[in-house]
Amino acid sequence: MNKIKADISNMQDLLRYASTDHDILNALTAIDELCDQGAHLRIRMVHEARHQGATWDEVGKALGISRQAAWDRYRGNITEGPFEAHPPTSSNGTVGK
């Protein structure tokens, strides 16, 4: 759970940066990175939910989609062990900023 809190904190930093940067292209880059990190976090949370016993129906309802859509979209990201996907990196190889 600490990794998830760190991911959320990093996303909040990106959002603050994007909303205060007066250079629209820098703000656009920050928003793009924020979306990538949000998608990564969503996959991580689906993985955690499934490992805690949530059904595909419950996952779908939490995401506002059908059970079948949730299964189709996320089944390839669910592994037997702990979540090990790497967060998205920016074009310069850093995570986040």
- Decide if 30 contacts 18 (C-beta within 8 A): yes
Tokens for 32, please give them. 């793009």
Percent of the chain with pLDDT over 90: 36
In a domain, 92, yes or no: no
Q: Which residue has the higher pLDDT, 27 or 57?
A: 57
**CA nearest neighbour of 82 among 52, 54, 42, 61:** 52
In a domain, 36, yes or no: yes
**pTM confidence score:** 0.63
Q: Which residue has the higher pLDDT, 37 or 11?
A: 37
Cα angle: 64, vertex 65, 70; to 5 degrees? 125
Residue 96 three-state SS: coil
Q: State how many domains the chain has.
A: 1
- The yes-or-no verdict on residue 89 having pLDDT over 50 is no
- The yes-or-no verdict on residue 13 having pLDDT over 60 is yes
- The yes-or-no verdict on residue 44 having pLDDT over 60 is yes
In a domain, 83, yes or no: no
Mean per-residue pLDDT, 34-54 = 91
Domain span including residue 29 = 2-77
Q: Report the first-to-last Cα separation within the chain, whole angstroms.
A: 22
Helix axes 67-74, 24-51, angle to 10 degrees: 110
In a domain, 40, yes or no: yes
In a domain, 54, yes or no: yes
In a domain, 84, yes or no: no
